Amino acid sequence: MTVIILANCPSGLRGFLTRWLLEISPGVFLGAPSARVRDILWAEVRQYSGKGRALLAYQTNNEQGFTFESHDHAWHPIDHEGLTLIHRPSAGRPTGETRAPNPPRQGWSKAAKRRRFGNR
């Protein structure tokens, strides 16, 4: 079984995938092509995805029973003691950034106006 998930990809790529896979939801393709056809389809997805993202999941003979690959996606598969897991960057700040967040800006509240213009 093979699953390909597309996000923000050209509609022509979706039409191309419907030749071999069934689109069960917008951008979600499901089918059982051979390993050779699956690799060719994934190469085409990587080439023609444009600014979009793509995920590929398929059955294989390992501990989990499946494996997956990603293309231009913020979440990346990593190997952890023989298991493939998804590494998801923290939502708070970009990866590698360690500085403190910016202080809050001065707003247009009544207290901010009094501080700025004095008591009038």
Residue 99 lies in a domain: no
- What tens digit of pLDDT does each residue of 24-39 get? 999 999 999 999 999 9
| CATH code of the domain covering residue 13 | 3.30.70.240
Residue 105 lies in a domain: no
Q: Count the domains in the chain.
A: 1
Contacts of 89 (CB under 8 A, 6+ apart): 74, 75, 95
Residue 115 lies in a domain: no
What pTM was estimated for this model as a whole?
Answer: 0.70
Please give the angle made by the CA atoms of 20, 85 and 36, to the nearest 5 degrees: 25
Name the pLDDT band for 119 (thresholds 50, 70, 90): low
Residue 44 lies in a domain: yes
- What tens digit of pLDDT does each residue of 49-99 get? 989 999 999 999 988 999 989 998 888 888 888 888 888 887 765 555 555
Provide the domain limits for residue 50.
1-88
Name the pLDDT band for 40 (thresholds 50, 70, 90): very high
Measured CA to CA, the distance from residue 52 to residue 13 in angstroms comes to 11
